[in-house]
A = this chain, B = another copy of it.
Amino acid sequence: MASQIQPHSPRQPIAVGILGATGAVGQRFVQLLADNPWFQITALAASERSTGQRYAEACTWRLSSDCPVAVRDLPVQPCEPGLDCQIVFSALPSSAAREVEEQFAAAGYGVLSNASTHRMDADVPLLIPEVNPDHLGLIEVQRQRRGWGKGFIVTDPNCSTVGATLALKPLYDAFGVRRAVITTMQALSGAGYPGVPALDILDNVIPYIGGEEDKLVHEPRKLLGAWSPEEGRVIPAELRISPSCNRVATRDGHLETISVEFERRVGVDDVITALRDFRSVPYALGCPSAVEPTIVVRQEPDRPQTRIDRDAGRGMAITVGRVRPCEVLDAKFVVLAHNTIRGAAGGSILNAELMIARGMIA
């Protein structure tokens, strides 16, 4: 469908700002955007404590590669409309996100948010470009309802939702998914910085992450839901998910075991084929952050492994392995997704790219 129309690509890089630019996700945005041909970072904003400083001073850079030269001398500005850019990526904490993101949208900025605040709002797209690109139809609803002109808010899902939902999507479409039992083993970077004290996690597993299971119950239902242009809303998918979320001592990469019940009898080979045949809409549209395959299916008995597979597809692919029959439901498998790339900054950037390719940001 999308491929019939000639996809757009920006004639010159889109000017972008980053809200919460000094934090863990903010740094990932900086790192990924610095190499992205469709964007140019023109504004960095953070909390008052940092404003006025150069970015390199205000920010303790924690990623392996060095802080990109192009942004080192940018001044850190307050998180208020007035930034010199067209769209903003928001890495704000949920508490700050509500007010600030709406201010930016009202002032005409496109807001690509990684915060949880607006995800479940009925008129805000919760978007994974490979899963539910048509949910962008909500933008018009949102603008009308909120009286916003060209501003908007688009959100990406929680880091533990992305891997599960991408893996469930082709199965949901092909066979119907009634129920899924999911246990996550989530990386430290999912808790931000400073996040988990080393004394709490060395030689330990913590079987609890506040608020996480609730997100994993509800977000996939919205993501797999049907966009109804007539009703101007997303009709949630019916599937029921039972999550158990755990923190383990890994740096990046959320590993999840998933047992699934289908609406009809399905063989393991059918599951593998459906996963393998999954095609990426944003890749077909030429989005620079999109990869093909988005779902890497491995046959080795002991894969995916967190450390080895998290960077598949530059961190934008998920890896599925150990597809096998489930003794209780129908099939089970293991999923891995990079939580701060695919599950946070990279996901938001891909959302913006999809909107550019669709001509919604120009």
- Inter-subunit contact A199/B188 (CB<8 Å): yes
- Inter-subunit contact B199/A185 (CB<8 Å): no
- Inter-subunit contact B257/A246 (CB<8 Å): yes
Cα–Cα distance between A306 and B203 once the two chains are bound (Å):
8
Chain B residues with Cβ below 8 Å from A303 are 207
- Inter-subunit contact B185/A308 (CB<8 Å): no
| Distance in Å: Cβ of A291 to nearest Cβ of chain B | 14
| Distance in Å: Cβ of A20 to nearest Cβ of chain B | 17
Is A217 in the interface zone, CB < 8 Å from B? yes
Cα–Cα distance between A249 and B255 once the two chains are bound (Å):
14
Q: Which of A304-344 contact B (CB under 8 A)?
A: 304-308, 311, 321-322, 326-329, 332, 334
Cα–Cα distance between A336 and B150 once the two chains are bound (Å):
51
Interface string of A272-312 (1 = CB under 8 A from B): 00000000000000000000000000000111111110010
Is A202 in the interface zone, CB < 8 Å from B? yes
Interface string of A179-194 (1 = CB under 8 A from B): 1110101001100011
Known: A255-B207, A259-B242. A197 touches B199 (CB 8 A): no
- Inter-subunit contact A202/B249 (CB<8 Å): yes
- Inter-subunit contact A259/B181 (CB<8 Å): yes
- Inter-subunit contact A199/B251 (CB<8 Å): yes
Chain B residues with Cβ below 8 Å from A217 are 327
Is A116 in the interface zone, CB < 8 Å from B? no
Interface string of A71-89 (1 = CB under 8 A from B): 0000000000000000000
| Distance in Å: Cβ of A222 to nearest Cβ of chain B | 16
| Distance in Å: Cβ of A269 to nearest Cβ of chain B | 19
Is A96 in the interface zone, CB < 8 Å from B? no
Known: A185-B205, A204-B308. 16 other contacts (CB 8 A): A179-B328, A180-B328, A181-B326, A181-B328, A183-B183, A183-B244, A188-B198, A197-B198, A198-B249, A203-B306, A204-B250, A242-B327, A244-B259, A246-B257, A248-B248, A249-B249
Supply 17 A–B pairs (Cβ within 8 Å), ascending by A.
Answer: A64-B307, A181-B329, A185-B246, A189-B199, A193-B199, A195-B199, A198-B200, A202-B202, A203-B251, A205-B250, A205-B255, A205-B306, A207-B255, A207-B304, A240-B327, A244-B257, A246-B257
